[in-house]
Structure 1
Amino acid sequence: MRSSLRKLLHSTATAIGMFTASLSASQAANEFTTDSDSHSLLGSYLAANLAKGSNDNNSAAAFYRSALALDPSNAVLLEQAFQTEAAEGHWDRAVPLARQLVAKDAENRMAHLLLGLDSFKGGDYQKADEEFRKASDGPIGELTSALARAWAAAAAGNAQRALKLLEMPKQAEWAQFYLNYHKALIADVMGRPQEAQVAYEHSMRQDATTLRIALAFARHAAHEGNFKRAKEILDAQSERAQSDPHVLVRELRDAIGPDKKTELLITTPVEGMAEVFYGLGEALTSEGGLSMGVLYLQLALYAKPDHAFALAALASAYETGQRYQDAIDAYDRIPPGTALQSAIDIRKAFDLNSLEKVDEAKAILDRLVKQSPDDLKPLDALGNILRARKRYAEAAEVYTQAMKLIPKPDKRHWSIFYSRGTCYERLKNWPAAEADLRKALELFPDQPLALNYLGYSWVDQNRNLKQGMALIEKAVALKPDDGYIVDSLGWAHFKLGNYAEAVRFLERAVELKPQDPVLNDHLGDALWRVGREREAKFQWDQALTLDPEPEEVEKIKKKLAEGLPPSVEARAGPRETMRRVHQKRRKETKLNPALVE
Structure 2
Amino acid sequence: MCAAAPAAATLGDAAAIGNYVRARLADTAGAPEQAVTGYAALLAQQPDDSAIALRAWRGAMAAGDMALALRAARLLDARGVLPAEGRILFAAEAMTMRDWAKARLAIDRIEEEQAFEFLAPILRAWVDQGAGDGPSAARLQGRLPGLTAAYGNEQRALLLLADGKAEGGVEILRATGGNGSSIARDAVRIAAASRLTSLGQRDAALSLLSEDDVDLAAARALVARRRLPGAVTTAAAGLSLLLVRLAEDIQRQQPTPIALSLTRIAGMLDPRSDAAHLLAASMLAADGRSASAIGALDRVDPKGPWVSRVGDARAQLLVQRGEADAALAFATRATRAKAATAQDWIRLGGVQSAMAHHGEAAKSYARAIELNQAAGVDPGWTLWLLKGGAYEQAGDWANALPALKKAAALAPDQAAVLNYLGYAQLERRENLEEAERLIRRASELRPKDSAITDSLGWAYYIRGNLPKAIETLERAVAGQPDEPTINEHLGDAYWAAGRRIDARYAWRAALIGAEGQVADRLRDKIDIGPQANP
Corresponding residue of 2:277: 311
Instruction: Please point out which of 95, 99, 112 is paired with 2:87.
Output: 112
1 CA distance for matches of 2:319 and 2:177? 36
Corresponding residue of 2:155: 182
Corresponding residue of 1:360: 326
Instruction: Please point out which of 145, 154, 160 is paired with 1:171.
Output: 145
1 CA distance for matches of 2:433 and 2:259? 48
Corresponding residue of 1:10: none
Residue 82 of structure 1 aligns to a residue whose secondary structure is helix
Does residue 454 of structure 1 match 2:421? yes
CA contact (8 A) 1:48 1:59 kept: yes
Deviation at 1:170, TM superposition (A): 5.0
* Aligned sequence identity (%): 26
Does residue 488 of structure 1 match 2:462? no
Q: Give matches, 1:276-425, under 5 Å.
A: 276-372=242-338, 375-407=341-373, 412-425=379-392
Residue 284 of structure 2 aligns to a residue whose secondary structure is helix
Q: Give matches, 1:255-274, under 5 Å.
A: 255=225, 265-274=231-240
Does residue 135 of structure 1 match 2:99? no
Deviation at 1:525, TM superposition (A): 4.0
CA contact (8 A) 2:228 2:305 kept: no
1 CA distance for matches of 2:245 and 2:121? 14
CA contact (8 A) 1:503 1:523 kept: yes
Deviation at 1:391, TM superposition (A): 1.5
Residues 187 and 461 of structure 1: CA distance in aligned 2, closer, same or farther (over 3 Å): closer
Q: Is there any run of 5+ residues in structure 2 with no aligned partner, and where?
A: 180-184
Instruction: Please point out which of 476, 479, 483 is paired with 1:509.
Output: 476
2 CA distance for matches of 1:510 and 1:419? 28
2 CA distance for matches of 1:531 and 1:70? 72
Q: Comparing 470-479 with 394-403, which one deviates more in the overlay? A: 394-403
Instruction: Please point out which of 427, 430, 436 is paired with 1:463.
Output: 430
CA contact (8 A) 2:190 2:219 kept: yes
Instruction: Please point out which of 514, 529, 534 is paired with 1:564.
Output: 529
Deviation at 1:491, TM superposition (A): 2.5
2 CA distance for matches of 1:448 and 1:335? 38
2 CA distance for matches of 1:308 and 1:512? 40
Query: What residue identity is the alignment partner of 1:341?
Result: V
Report the count of equivalent residues.
Answer: 524
2 CA distance for matches of 1:228 and 1:123? 34
Deviation at 1:302, TM superposition (A): 1.1
Residues 221 and 57 of structure 1: CA distance in aligned 2, closer, same or farther (over 3 Å): closer
CA contact (8 A) 2:216 2:305 kept: no
Query: What residue identity is the alignment partner of 2:283?
Result: A
Deviation at 1:222, TM superposition (A): 5.2
2 CA distance for matches of 1:528 and 1:253? 65
Corresponding residue of 2:182: none
Corresponding residue of 1:522: 489
Q: For each residue in 1:275-309, what CA deviation from the matched residue of structure 2 results, as whole angstroms up to 9, or x when unmatched?
A: 23222223222333442221111001111222111
Residue 336 of structure 2 aligns to a residue whose secondary structure is helix
Residue 480 of structure 1 aligns to a residue whose secondary structure is coil
1 CA distance for matches of 2:364 and 2:400? 15
CA contact (8 A) 1:455 1:469 kept: yes
Q: For each residue in 1:87-121, what CA deviation from the matched residue of structure 2 results, as whole angstroms up to 9, or x when unmatched?
A: 32112221111111001116642222222322333
Residues 521 and 63 of structure 1: CA distance in aligned 2, closer, same or farther (over 3 Å): farther
Deviation at 1:141, TM superposition (A): 0.7
CA contact (8 A) 1:133 1:149 kept: no
CA contact (8 A) 1:301 1:311 kept: yes
Deviation at 1:181, TM superposition (A): 2.6
Residue 246 of structure 1 aligns to a residue whose secondary structure is helix
Residues 42 and 473 of structure 1: CA distance in aligned 2, closer, same or farther (over 3 Å): farther
Q: For each residue in 1:106-139, what CA deviation from the matched residue of structure 2 results, as whole angstroms up to 9, or x when unmatched?
A: 6642222222322333343212321232123676
Q: For each residue in 1:506-562, what CA deviation from the matched residue of structure 2 results, as whole angstroms up to 9, or x when unmatched?
A: 33334444453333443444455556666655554444444x3333233334445x2
Residues 211 and 120 of structure 1: CA distance in aligned 2, closer, same or farther (over 3 Å): closer
2 CA distance for matches of 1:215 and 1:477? 39
Q: Is there any run of 5+ residues in structure 1 with no aligned partner, and where?
A: 1-28, 571-597
CA contact (8 A) 2:440 2:456 kept: yes
